């Protein structure tokens, strides 16, 4: 398959290039960057020297890109992908967007949280979280790839919501991410000496991944889920750990909780169940597409605490997109994604 | 005042030595270590070269130590301080214990969570968190210095509990600590390559700081508080950030929340109020005795989220102990603790 | 090919498992560990969950291991591989040893620096640094894989030595390694809080990689090379940067230096020449088998400064071993080693 | 003494504020910042909340600043301090400049390396490295405070140069610094995800600290010293380790080397001699004004390797400036500088 990467010089874009290089059925034809168009990609990312010889082009060449590509991966900030998507209507090219533009069923929710008018409201779009939505992804023309925090959080809570084991009004998600999640733009808050040996929260009550998690859990639970979500920055490059709290419904047993996870994920290759009492660690998934899950039941307080770890740039971005690519192209779902976590 | 440090070679013990060196009214006479007795302390901690010439002695010399000291700081693992305290009954020496042995009003709670028989149950002891308990500390002979996670968590929630602004059954505390909190004993989990660029939770539902936080908040709230507490390890040396969630009682306004913090802490030197919307960061308190506090109100979910940052070895251990020392000795409370955070 | 890993639970052993998993022609049959025999490898290294189901066995089963294997990788501390090698004499199995036992032409040098009697002196052995020794490796039965510091240092200086561009008595190598180079045994010096935010040298004038570098450069230069080598620990997990200084011989031009690098490495896949003025960075090779090289000529002092970066566990250990494996098995040299560096 | 800090919002400027806060004889009256004039300093550096209430002013108020100050500390980029100094000619105010403008005896050397015209060539200036130049500093009106790399490197080599124990043409200095040395301006190279878990050299053969080290060692040696100096960035906030190599002159004994260090530094409070075989570590001096020194003699190659560790922002910048301030004001040299390293 011919694939192109729109917005190739963000961290997720570069991660695409890493993963696609070892994908037996994907051939990268174009990669774009508005700020670096005309430069070899290996000049912008020297770790790609000797691997990618391509030169970055501008999005202005979208027609040529579309003509030459079977699938287009988009790694642009929200608000830009829908403009691209709109231009590609009627072209024989699938779109897998890493951003938020195609993630929401309810465009109002999108517009309210992202504070931008949606320009491609009628797009037939599919939410790109394979473990929840595999059948729809198979047929999809536009996939709104799930976000990083959202992937970790939804996967941790989905079995509980789906089986109605928890009180949907009691959910608290306390999530922690490595700094690559904040992108490659240098700014004071992420300047090395400021962030090293430092830990802080940000965007309490206002992070845009909140409604995306709510949308997914609401569907699973069959009733409205409104929750607290708090992101934090960890002084490390990659990785997300999501700590999810919820009140168990009266009478729910530990065995029921265990069973919910087993039933939903027992056959999922990329979800590794550490079981009740398990402790996922971000380093144990680094560089891989795995999502490690553990859960704990605190009888004293009547809560379940679910823990999930992913690499934010892999299962939280480019890896998940490749997984969706495999599904919608009819390839083996794990193709190009069998790399072992880089440890230590 | 003549002071001695029992258990001087743990990280908190070493931090005592750092702080006491600049304290105008404290003179360190003895420092003990069972594993390093007979060695100069600067051999065990080379950063102390040229500063402390003393040799470590064994606790077997407790009688001489007590005779030579006005105050004894204890930095031993739980279960050991009470044995020391019992031996010192009747001696004219005050005890400030960093461990848990003297923190609990209800010995049963201690014995249940720490799984050890208490041998000094009738000790007249005072809980050593100055901002809550200053008057009692003034008169105390034995001070059970508050723990690290507990200090951060209690200070964040105290104004809310005291003013009955929150539902006491809804509290979730998600806390994160630098690795020095796990002590100086080398073990695989804290081996550099394992913990670097890694993030994980531990001890979900079972951490011993839980009942200590509950004890303090129960007293403040005037009703029983049972809560969820989850500790995490951050790949950094020092610092704790505590993210505390609670449901607001119906009708509570943002102004009431703000006022609760202002009233309780407006005059506290070591508590810096960043206000509603503020984001404490561990690096901004590193090396200092400050506790930085910010709080957020998420109307959508009806929760308040309070954030606190401390240096686990200072306000969470040795600094708080020096603060208590100052109070119970009648010194200026900030004496020896005016050092500015080391930033960046 | 059937391969086994002796000493699979050190970091280099685990890295073998990572690389071999994606090698199309290698099938791991046995993995040994004396301290963990009987446990699943994924219990010792949880990042391998869902990837390797094998159980670790003891080296006592060496006969069965040898019978079932075409190639044996050894990741044991020096002094142990030669005992294994001796036992395997006459068996139809190739050996690739990561340690020092088979690296030296002159056994006396080995015995003097490693302070151990060699028990397999007459082994037909080949030094396993492919870029220097490819032809010999093709035929080899026992390969003494080059060390981590040595690989970085030799590759940086080889073109200069071979072309007699530098004064062989003037070489100073100042090398820096991530902490994984010190192994997985927890000890105080590498305890997270001690090593984080810290930098130090060790083993000045006495590191055992010194004679190995000297051996290689002496051969290339055709005259005896005696040099200074100083290792340092960097607070990071992986990566080596080697900064190599040498006096240029009178009259040597920058063009000659450039040409020496181009001629020697222009066709090498795993050596990426950043050119004169280039600055390799450890992160740009992380997780990959690349060695990035840059060089600088300081006319003012008459020295060339060559810089090299490798991942100590890949090109400095397991990756290089797989490269040697490919060569001696007649496979494409890059097989299983085409993974892109994990950045950032 | 009334002191002001010109350029208070760089890292060295902020470090001044940290140190001066605990200095019993210094009172900060003005602090300037062109980019943040009008803002409270605690808004620019939140770790200073509750400690400094001052508002930053512009350098345009230089006359008022000078009139109100006894001593002015300058933390501006090179090229700017000399303009300030020139304007202050004739005013009763001492100047301690952290930059390079007043460090050089030979203005030509300055102009050549810094590529800027000097505008205050005839200033009576003194080089501010107390251990070498104490007497001159006592009388100084303008002090060119020694640089960070230079302090570490000169102190390591001074006893050897002064006693003519080394070949002055053989010196190689390989230095490593934490990222705070690169300043507070956010840029890609020091963006957290780029620099974390990364190590690299920069500015090989061209770093401006080179001629400063040469100037000092040339004076000590009594003959011209031309040397190699290579800086590297370590993924940590603070700290410099300098590894210095030199050929021993024929016949020099280890005892002579030891004696040289003892004689020169035996009475220096801020220099801690770890002795022959000692290994300084940056963390052991963090936050303090100490310079830790160790040295090694490698008989095999005829070289001495001297190692020094400092905190680049303390002994390498603000701490050294305070030390010079104490000297030129007639205070106890250690005043305000007795803080213990922050460890771990």
pLDDT values of chain D reduced to their tens digit, one per residue, 344 residues: 999 999 999 999 999 999 999 999 999 999 999 999 999 999 999 999 999 999 999 999 999 999 999 999 999 999 999 999 999 999 999 999 999 999 999 999 999 999 999 999 999 999 999 999 999 999 999 999 999 999 999 999 999 999 999 999 999 999 999 999 999 999 999 999 999 999 999 999 999 999 999 999 999 999 999 999 999 999 999 999 999 999 999 999 999 999 999 999 999 999 999 999 999 999 999 999 999 999 999 999 999 999 999 999 999 999 999 999 999 999 999 999 999 999 99
- Tell me whether residues B172 and A245 touch, CB distance under 8 A: yes
pLDDT of amino acid D184: 97
User: CA nearest D239 in B: which residue?
Assistant: B344
Catalytic residue list of C: 148
Question: Does A207 contact B at CB distance below 8 Å?
Answer: no
Question: CB–CB of C220/C159 below 8 Å?
Answer: no
Please give the average pLDDT of every successive group of 10 residues along chain B, which has 344 residues: 97 97 97 97 98 97 97 96 96 97 98 97 97 97 98 98 98 98 96 98 97 98 98 98 98 98 98 98 98 98 98 98 98 97 98
- Tell me whether residues B191 and C186 touch, CB distance under 8 A: yes
Is 0.90 exceeded by the ipTM? yes
Considering only CB atoms, which chain D residues are within 8 Å of B287? Answer: 287, 342
- Tell me whether residues A50 and C272 touch, CB distance under 8 A: yes
Helix (H) or strand (E) holding C323: helix C319-329
- Tell me whether residues D237 and A197 touch, CB distance under 8 A: yes
Considering only CB atoms, which chain C residues are within 8 Å of B180? Answer: 193
Select from C196, C287, C344 the Cβ nearest to the Cβ of A342.
Answer: C287
Considering only CB atoms, which chain D residues are within 8 Å of C279? Answer: 200-202, 204
pLDDT digits (tens, 9 = 90+) for A175-193: 999 999 999 999 999 999 9
**A35 φ/ψ angles, rounded to the nearest 5 degrees:** -80, -20
- Tell me whether residues D298 and C228 touch, CB distance under 8 A: yes
Cβ-count burial of A157 within 10 angstroms (0-12 exposed, 13-18 middle, 19+ buried)? buried
Catalytic residue among B148, B244, B291, B328: B148
pLDDT digits (tens, 9 = 90+) for A89-139: 999 999 999 999 999 999 999 999 999 999 999 999 999 999 999 999 999
Residue D127: beta bridge partners?
D144
Residue spans of beta strands (DSSP E) within chain B: 2-6, 27-31, 71-74, 94-97, 125-128, 142-145, 172-178, 200-201, 228-234, 240-247, 271-276, 291-298, 303-310
Give residue for tokens 């509290």. B171
Question: Does B274 contact A at CB distance below 8 Å?
Answer: no
Question: Does A23 contact B at CB distance below 8 Å?
Answer: no
Q: How far is A186 from chain B (nearest CA, A)?
A: 17
Residues 119-158 of C with CB under 8 A from B: none
Q: Is the pTM of this model over 0.80?
A: yes
Angle formed at CA B224 by CA B220 and CA B225, multiple of 5 degrees? 80
How far apart CA D246 and CA D156 sit, in angstroms, is 11
Considering only CB atoms, which chain D residues are within 8 Å of A193? Answer: 11, 178-180, 184, 190, 237
- Tell me which residue of D93, D89, D204, D208 sits closest to D146, measured CA to CA: D208
Q: Look up residue C341 and give its DSSP letter.
A: P
**D267 φ/ψ angles, rounded to the nearest 5 degrees:** -105, 5
Question: Does C70 contact D at CB distance below 8 Å?
Answer: no
Q: What is the DSSP string of B158-227?
A: HHHHHTT-B-TT--EEEEEEEGGGG-S---GGGBHHHHTT--EE-STTT-THHHHHHHHHHHHHTS----
pLDDT of amino acid A237: 97
Q: How far is A85 from chain D (nearest CA, A)?
A: 30
How far apart CA A192 and CA A171 sit, in angstroms, is 34
Question: Does C193 contact D at CB distance below 8 Å?
Answer: yes
How far apart CA B111 and CA B100 sit, in angstroms, is 11
How far apart CA C201 and CA C178 sit, in angstroms, is 12
- Tell me whether residues B235 and C196 touch, CB distance under 8 A: yes
Considering only CB atoms, which chain C residues are within 8 Å of D201? Answer: 241, 243, 279, 307
Question: Does D179 contact A at CB distance below 8 Å?
Answer: yes
How far apart CA D87 and CA A40 sit, in angstroms, is 49
Select from D46, D274, D292 the Cβ nearest to the Cβ of B284.
Answer: D46
User: CA nearest D245 in C: which residue?
Assistant: C172
**D288 φ/ψ angles, rounded to the nearest 5 degrees:** -115, 170
Question: Does D180 contact B at CB distance below 8 Å?
Answer: yes
pLDDT tens for chain C, 344 residues: list them: 999 999 999 999 999 999 999 999 999 999 999 999 999 999 999 999 999 999 999 999 999 999 999 999 999 999 999 999 999 999 999 999 999 999 999 999 999 999 999 999 999 999 999 999 999 999 999 999 999 999 999 999 999 999 999 999 999 999 999 999 999 999 999 999 999 999 999 999 999 999 999 999 999 999 999 999 999 999 999 999 999 999 999 999 999 999 999 999 999 999 999 999 999 999 999 999 999 999 999 999 999 999 999 999 999 999 999 999 999 999 999 999 999 999 99
Q: How far is D199 from chain C (nearest CA, A)?
A: 6
Q: How far is D12 from chain A (nearest CA, A)?
A: 13
pLDDT digits (tens, 9 = 90+) for C199-255: 999 999 999 999 999 999 999 999 999 999 999 999 999 999 999 999 999 999 999
- Tell me which residue of D130, D158, D162 sits closest to D144, measured CA to CA: D130
């Amino acid at each position: 398959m011919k694939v192109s990467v729109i917005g190739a010089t963000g961290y997720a874009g570069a991660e695409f290039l890493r993963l696609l290089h070892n994908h037996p059925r994907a051939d990268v034809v174009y990669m774009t960057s508005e700020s670096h168009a005309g430069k070899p990609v290996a000049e912008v990312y020297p770790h790609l020297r000797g691997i990618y010889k391509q030169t970055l082009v501008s999005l202005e060449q979208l027609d040529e890109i579309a003509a030459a590509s079977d699938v287009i991966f988009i790694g642009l900030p929200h608000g830009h992908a829908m403009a691209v998507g709109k231009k590609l209507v009627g072209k024989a090219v699938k779109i897998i967007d890493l951003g938020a533009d195609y993630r929401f069923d309810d465009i109002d929710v999108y517009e309210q949280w992202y504070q931008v008018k949606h320009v491609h409201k009628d797009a037939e779009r599919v939410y790109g979280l394979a473990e929840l939505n595999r059948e729809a992804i198979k047929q999809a023309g536009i996939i709104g790839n799930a976000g990083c925090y959202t992937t970790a959080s939804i996967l941790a809570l989905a079995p509980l919501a789906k089986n109605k084991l928890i009180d949907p009004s009691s959910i608290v998600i306390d999530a922690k991410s490595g700094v690559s999640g904040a992108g490659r733009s240098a700014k004071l808050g992420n300047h090395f000496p400021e962030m090293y040996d430092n830990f802080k929260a940000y965007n309490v009550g206002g992070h845009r991944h909140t409604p995306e998690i709510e949308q997914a859990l609401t569907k699973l639970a069959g009733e409205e889920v409104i929750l607290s979500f708090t992101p934090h920055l960890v002084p490390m490059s990659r990785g997300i750990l999501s700590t999810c709290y919820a009140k168990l419904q009266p009478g729910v047993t530990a065995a029921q909780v265990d069973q919910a996870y087993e039933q939903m994920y027992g056959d999922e290759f990329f979800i590794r169940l550490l079981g009740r009492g398990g402790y996922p660690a971000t380093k144990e998934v680094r560089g891989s597409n795995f999502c490690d899950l553990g859960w704990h039941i605190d009888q004293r307080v009547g809560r379940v605490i679910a823990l999930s770890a992913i690499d934010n740039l892999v299962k939280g971005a480019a890896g998940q997109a490749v997984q969706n690519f495999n599904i919608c192209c009819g390839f083996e779902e794990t193709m190009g994604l069998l790399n072992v976590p880089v440890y230590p």
